[in-house]
């Protein structure tokens, strides 16, 4: 399958008081058509900024973004608008991403109307189809967001994101605010939609069990950089980077009869302001040594499997 999205050495820096915040600092990966990449990491690691930069909600500082093989890094006006129809975003908080003054119907209709591709009659039909596809009851068309529960609101966000038949959907913590029973409904919906329309997705989350369920490949991010990336199965079965290992071991497990060995990390994620050279995880890493003072590159340790740690090397 061809790659729908490819980013090469993508950077997004912010000027802040005290220096430069390297939110995304040289990230490269590809996403094959019809698959889902899970971006995993803790708050402040830059995963949301990465998603926002790819779909041009933030202008990248350096590096390249390719969409279906075309360089879309520096798009302007009309091309940018066309690109944005093809890439859509679902936010974590459906309470703040929906306009409280618009009915559900108006909300879903808006992108269709803006595209000027539909006349009035077909507009209504398209909205009805989208609502059906995302499991929103017809009777809610004239309701306002505050009248809906969190799960339904997230369905509305998804319906709106799907309105213009995007090829790439970035979901930023779309189920984090929902209770597990509702979360499962939304995850099923996203996977059904992907199957129907060969949608390519980027799923940003801190929830490792969710990401394991929904992703084909996973990229683990730490302070603006990828530390490990590969197939979901491999990454969960044999994590290699010390950070990934600690992260996976920290997830509380319901398997009461096979307790896992927990690696408790020292310290916390520091802020990525004025980052010096060297491995960014080394201050918390129990394997850190002098060789970690140098920059770490993602190396292919198994076919299609990359790790950025000098302590992990060669095919395993």
- Residues binding another protein (CB under 8 A): 42-43, 149, 151, 179-185, 187-188, 191, 206, 208-210, 212-214, 246-247, 250-256, 259, 262, 264-265, 268-269
Least distance in angstroms from the C-beta of 162 to another protein: 20
Least distance in angstroms from the C-beta of 99 to another protein: 23
Least distance in angstroms from the C-beta of 306 to another protein: 22
Least distance in angstroms from the C-beta of 44 to another protein: 9
267 or 290: CB nearest another protein: 267
129 or 268: CB nearest another protein: 268
77 or 258: CB nearest another protein: 258
100 or 259: CB nearest another protein: 259
47 or 52: CB nearest another protein: 47
Question: DSSP states of the chain as a string?
Answer: --EEEEEEEEEEEEEETTEEEEEEEEEEEEEETT-EEEEE--TTSSHHHHHHHHTTSS--SEEEEEETTEE-TT--HHHHHHHHHHEEEE-S-HHHHS-TTS-HHHHHHHHHHHHT---HHHHHHHHHHHHHHTT--GGGTT--GGGS-HHHHHHHHHHHHHTT--SEEEEESTTTTS-HHHHHHHHHHHHHHHHHHT-EEEEEES-HHHHHHH-SEEEEEETTEEEEEEEHHHHHHS--SHHHHHHHHHS--S-TTSPPPP-PPPS-----BS--SS-TTGGG-TT--GGGGSPP--EEEETTEEE--TTS-S--
Least distance in angstroms from the C-beta of 130 to another protein: 21
Least distance in angstroms from the C-beta of 212 to another protein: 6
2 or 19: CB nearest another protein: 19
């Amino acid at each position: 399958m061809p790659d729908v999205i490819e980013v090469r050495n993508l950077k997004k820096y912010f000027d802040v008081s005290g220096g430069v915040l390297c939110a995304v600092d040289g990230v490269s990966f590809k996403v094959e058509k019809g698959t889902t990449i899970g971006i995993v990491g803790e708050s402040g690691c830059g995963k949301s900024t990465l998603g926002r930069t790819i779909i041009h909600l933030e202008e990248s500082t350096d590096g390249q973004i390719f969409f279906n093989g075309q360089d879309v890094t520096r798009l302007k006006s009309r091309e940018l608008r066309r690109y944005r129809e093809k890439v859509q975003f679902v936010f974590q908080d459906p309470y703040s991403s929906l306009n409280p003054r618009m009915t559900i119907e108006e909300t879903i209709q808006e992108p269709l109307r803006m595209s000027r591709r539909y006349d009035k009659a077909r507009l209504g039909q398209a909205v009805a189809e989208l609502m059906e596809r995302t499991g929103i009851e017809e009777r809610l068309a004239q309701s306002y967001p505050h009248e809906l529960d969190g799960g339904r609101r997230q369905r509305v966000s998804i319906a709106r994101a799907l309105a213009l038949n995007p090829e790439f959907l970035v979901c930023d913590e779309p189920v984090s605010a929902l209770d597990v029973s509702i979360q499962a409904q939304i995850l099923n919906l996203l996977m059904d939609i992907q199957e129907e329309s060969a949608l390519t997705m980027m799923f940003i989350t801190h929830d490792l069990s969710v990401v394991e369920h929904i992703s084909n490949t996973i990229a683990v991010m730490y302070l603006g950089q990828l530390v490990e990336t590969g197939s979901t199965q491999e990454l969960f079965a044999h994590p290699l980077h010390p950070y990934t290992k600690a992260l996976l071991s920290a997830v509380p497990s319901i398997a009461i009869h096979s307790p896992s060995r927990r690696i408790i990390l020292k310290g916390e994620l520091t802020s990525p302001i004025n980052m010096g050279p060297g491995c960014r995880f080394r201050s918390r890493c129990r394997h850190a040594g002098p060789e970690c003072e140098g920059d770490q590159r993602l190396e292919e340790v198994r076919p299609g499997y990359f790790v950025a740690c000098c302590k992990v090397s060669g095919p395993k």
